[in-house]
Chain A
Amino acid sequence: MKWGGEALVRGATAQFAGVGRLRRALVLLAAAACTAAALLYWRQQSGDRAHRPIHALYTEVEPQWSWVCRNYRCERLLASEMTTLQSLQTCNMLCDSTQLWPQPTGPVSLATAVVPVVIDGFSLKIVSSPSKEVSDLLSEAFEMMKDDINMQEEDDDIRQISYGSPRPVVVRVAINGSADPRMRLDTDESYKLFLRPVKKSLIVDITAQSFCGARHGFETLSQIVWRDPYAGTLLILEAATVVDSPHYSYRGLLLDTARNFFPTKAIIRTIDAMAACKMNTFHWHVSDSQSFPLRLDSAPQLAQHGAYGPDAVYTTQDVKTIVRHAKLRGIRVLLEVDAPAHVGRAWGWGPAEGLGHLAHCIEAEPWSAYCGEPPCGQLNPRNPHVYELLERIYREIIELTEVDDLFHLGGDEVSERCWVQHFNDTDPMDLWLEFTRGAIKSLERANRGKLPDISLLWSSRLTRSPYLERLDPNTIGVHVWGSSRWTESRAVLDSGFRAVLSHVDAWYLDCGFGSWRDSSDGHCGPYRSWQQMYEHRPWTEESAALVPGIGNAAAWHVMGGSACQWTEQLGPGGLDARVWPRSAAVAERLWSDRVEGATADVYLRLDTQRARLVRRGVHAAPLWPRWCEHNPNACL
């Protein structure tokens, strides 16, 4: 559906005929001056000449380039040669494909006519809401959306063209479903957005079944508003219809804040970027053997003995700030305290406080005998105080994050040798099962006697046969991180376990930087490009590999997936460019699951999304040279 485009072009032409003449005159003048200067110089090769930068006559006052849409792509042309001016942003928004990210899964139609708006012209009207809490959050989320739209620098503005006077935008939201605003396993995230001009204003109707759905609607709305630097104003498409719902219900990003510490504001920025891509799960791998920065009120010793320093700590207030922010962004915070392996010095205070050894092999050497990377440490599965502590930790995590239907228990990379040293009478796999059952009991007690609907375990030897059979698929889900070519994802799914996929050879953001301990290649290289991340569709590969009659693909329950940023070799300074825009590619895979790979259309939309992230303060890496951003057609 395209309408209204003609009128716009005509209007603009009329306005700029005068400017165009002036510009042509200037160019001729400049050209003449230039040629004269050059000729003069060439004739008398020596001789110092007084010269002035002729370009100052025009580069300072008018844009260099103008874009036109030809054959569904924007082409860059010299502004001085054009009678009408159009910015790259506006051209992209109006030229063929949508610039939405992730691509909606339902019908979309967008106008090619634009209307100028100002941020204060946006108003919210809540038509129906199931609870006051939802209404309050909607109002806040609406303000956040306005900030997102407005977070676009204005010093680039040239104000050479005008699209008329701004019109007000009334956003009417109707939520008919859940009174619970949290991102839950059963949250219906679908929404419909219907934008149209009514008399002198624009009306946007957003209908959804939940707060999170309505928020996604805001996000989509923000993506059809942009700042036009040549007009110095915000523009919005005059009309739009979007029907949308996600393909997968779990769309995650893992950040490891234990290998290296990341300040709260870096986490908030990451959550903002996730929201811009409609991701819904911030998987916070908060602790590991290297450090334990989470200062819990109920077990402050962990951070005291485990944090890198006095300010490398997340206080409960910090966590609440992050959770609150995430909630407004339609994102659940899944806080993982990994156990029984991946623990360290944080658990070393047991003997001094009379609780015995809470963990063994802490910082044991040589590390390669007791763990996958230094320093080592593994919880003591036979110390009842460990389970009491876990219960406290789990209870406080559930209180802080308000997530009680989903939990992440950690549970990967247990060193059998570490336990064998201390418990040589028991098969370490039995100990591991024993520990897992104990931890699940702690979780049940922590969650007021009721297990969360799903408790996730990292895939490991424990989630393979013959141990997998000893776990309960009704309560346990498996977070599969092995290679996509391994059979474990299939085995887990065939056995009826719900799965979150984070294949190390596709969705690990940390791979490809070599080993951090020596000059070897490291365990999981090479680096995966955004294209590879985008094109990873393990569910189709798996079903294609299925031998007919074996396996039961129809009954598989893939909850979704998660990009994983482990941080052995990453500090706060490099976070954004490492994670973005690659995680955005994963986000669209999980939301839209389009059959196409990284086609030209995907490049263009992702480039626009990347620019959006940059304007919102996220230092996302570029997809290609800036010339390609200016000449998209030529680089595809």
Chain B
Amino acid sequence: MFDRFIRKKFIVVAVMASGWVALVLMAVNIVQSHENNGLEDIVPPIYEPSWMYKCLPEEGCIRSDEPHPTTNNVTNLTFNSLDICRTVCGRLGGLWPRPVTAVLSTRTVKIHPNYLRFDLEKVPVEAREIMAAMTQVVGSNLLAECDGEVTEVVETPVIVFISVKSADTSLHWETEEQYMLDLASKEGQITVYIMAETVYGARHALETFTQLVASEKSDYSNQKKCGLQIVAGARIRDRPVYRHRGLLLDSSRHFIPMTDIKRTIDGMAANKMNVFHWHVTDTHSFPLESSRVPQFTRYGAYSAKEIYSVEEVKDFIKYAQIRGVRVVIEIDAPAHAGNGWQWGKEYGYGDLAVCVNANAWRHLCIQPPCGQLNPANPAMYRVLRDLYRDIAEMVTKPALLHMGGDEVFFNCWNASEEITNYMRQKNYEISLNGFIDLWSEFHEKALQAWDEELEAAGGTKQPVMLWSSELTQVRRIQQHLSNERYVIEVWEPVDSPLLEQLIKMHYRVVSVPKDIWYLDHGLWGVTKYSNWRRMYAHMLPREENVLGGEVAMWTEYVDKEGIDTRIWPRAAAVAERLWSDPSASVYSAERRLQRQRGRLLARGLRPDAIAPGWCEQHDAKCL
């Protein structure tokens, strides 16, 4: 009641103010024509700009020329709030990633999260718990649009009927993610019907539902008064093009605290990304706690505070699952392993890894610190097996493990007498081919260990992921890696033929072209930065064996403070490429991406700016 009162008063003041301005201007005009001493006689009215936005369906939302609300001129498609304008303007409104089809009303209705209800009767009992958790995220995301408090209270009931067919709550490449969403408002009630095969499809529908809502606040305003509006009618049919829509985060070069990783998951969920590829270890540090091998963190963590405990990881996997994201842990091996493995001798197991932290690193690895697992030491496989068992017990089933497998540096192995002796004993040549055989043997043994430990932990045999490398070259891969068991993550630059070649050889692939989708590029060495447009414009082959793609946030030169701006909103651009694979131009996407960027900001992320604020307020004017 109080809020409404304020609002009325506000409008009156605004009307008076604009009337007063008109009077003053008239007076000035008269003075001007008589005396022409202009400036001195103006007593300028003090008000802050409060722009209006007009929706031109083809171009987008355009700011008014005059900085005050022209109340006598409000038409259907003119708005005080840029966010609301974007939510209804154009065929796709403010949806990101774009759905397959959408019909949206240009009208909006006020709502309040307190009057939002979810009906889960048509969700199988086994899936209700996670579905309920998913609906709770909706509430907090709606509140975020109003900075935590929706002061404008309306009692319009919003009832969301969720219908899910499958009781299966596992998340994997075969999970059906499509959904249908119908929203209608009549007789003072808003009814939403969501239909999906799985809870994950329903979750995506809920994300779309929140994207039909925007706040009435004007752009760049700190006012506390805030109300929400929802599109009055919608009919959306949606399904992803690619089933693997991932983001890699490296938490070894710099430790990234759990809260920052969870925030990254929030961003992924907002963009319907579904794989968090956690490059949790590398030669630099080993922050992942293993209950069977505590030495990993004891010798490998940067400090006792920079560790992901088993409990934290379990909680995190759950957190991600509720947001439709599968956590894929990568234990990079046999290269990119060092700190965390250097305690073998002390415990009587011999060298588990070689060249660890070697001084003349340029001969032994691509960047300091060096380190590579010691394939001549059987104890190494036993320790690795323990680690795999811990992971198998932590992750959800069916479990997907990324086994690393990139950038093996033969000089390092060659520098170890133990390893060259082992090779001789196995009749491997001490040559490129011999080292390839040794490397291949490592993967064979590692895979066997994983299979056995996974089974022991109650899982079933699954494919694993592996980086492209010397071993996955066309002339070698079939000898060493079976296409039944390995999904290859191809990080070669975009002009490399490898991706196409592997597809032809019936390998399933995930594509991360480093010169386009690496988020760290452009800030070191001779690498080049890709802006969101370049990332968005890149297309993957549409083939069954192309599971999808990832963006990769390597953290040599970025830490928890910087990851948000480096990742967002560029990862969102790739998310739309992977979900929708649109043929429309990058330009028509920009206004929706601006809305998505605003949404990420509201949810507590810190996305980078993609253009001057003026361009955000003048769609299609900065081309």
Contacts and interface: CB of A to CB of B under 8 A. Distances in A.
Interface of A: 31, 34-35, 37-38, 41-42, 46, 51-56, 58-60, 63-65, 78, 156, 258-261, 289-291, 295, 299-301, 303-313, 344-345, 348, 352-355, 363, 365, 367, 373-375, 385, 388-389, 392, 512-519, 521, 525-527, 529, 567-571, 573-574, 576-578, 614, 619-628, 630-631, 634-635
Interface string B278-309: 00000111000101111101110111110101
A261 B219 CA distance: 12
Nearest to B361: A634
B612 A568 contact: yes
Contact of B614 (A308, A625, A630): A308
Nearest to B457: A48
Interface residues of B, number: 95
Nearest to A352: B25
B456 A59 contact: no
A230 to B, nearest CB: 11
A156 B559 contact: no
Specify the main secondary structure of chain A where it touches its partner.
loop
B347 to A, nearest CB: 6
Contact of A353 (B25, B253, B456): B25
Nearest to B306: A626
B531 A514 contact: yes
B394 to A, nearest CB: 13
A64 B524 contact: no
B607 interface: yes
A354 B29 contact: yes
Given A78-B299, A625-B253, A634-B359, A513 B522 contact: yes
Contacts of A348: 65
Given A307-B220, A308-B219, A519-B586, A385 B48 contact: no
Contact of B613 (A260, A512, A518): A260
B324 interface: no
Nearest to A48: B456
Contacts of B586: 519
Interface stretch (B152-160, B491-499, B615-623): B615-623
A578 B28 CA distance: 47
Interface in B187-225: 218-223
Contacts of A631: 357, 368-369
A626 B255 contact: yes
A355 B304 contact: no
Contact of A627 (B369, B531, B533): B369
Contacts of A527: 522-523, 529
Contact of A301 (B44, B65, B537): B44
Given A311-B220, A516-B610, A569-B608, A59 B297 contact: yes
A53 B561 contact: no
Interface string B409-432: 000000000000000000000000
Interface in B22-53: 25, 28-29, 31-33, 38-39, 42, 44, 46-51
A289 to B, nearest CB: 8
Residue picked from A518, A620, A625, most chain B C-beta under 10 Å: A625
B39 A574 contact: no
Nearest to B253: A625
Given A41-B386, A259-B612, A621-B562, A55 B524 contact: no
B38 A310 contact: no
Given A35-B348, A309-B220, A621 B611 contact: no
Given A63-B304, A310-B218, A310-B223, A577 B608 contact: no
B445 interface: no
Nearest to B590: A517
Given A309-B219, A516-B531, A626 B613 contact: no
Interface string B247-273: 000000111000000000000000000
Contact of A64 (B304, B346, B608): B304
A289 B614 CA distance: 9
A55 B294 contact: yes
A385 B253 contact: no
Contacts of B51: 309
B550 to A, nearest CB: 20
Given A59-B307, A571-B608, A628 B294 contact: no
Contacts of B65: 345, 348
Nearest to A515: B531
Given A260-B609, A308-B220, A619 B555 contact: no
Contacts of A518: 533
A259 B615 CA distance: 9
26 contacts: A38-B386, A41-B386, A55-B298, A63-B303, A259-B612, A291-B612, A291-B613, A295-B48, A301-B44, A308-B220, A309-B48, A309-B50, A309-B221, A310-B220, A353-B25, A367-B621, A568-B612, A569-B608, A573-B608, A622-B559, A625-B254, A625-B284, A626-B253, A627-B253, A627-B339, A634-B368
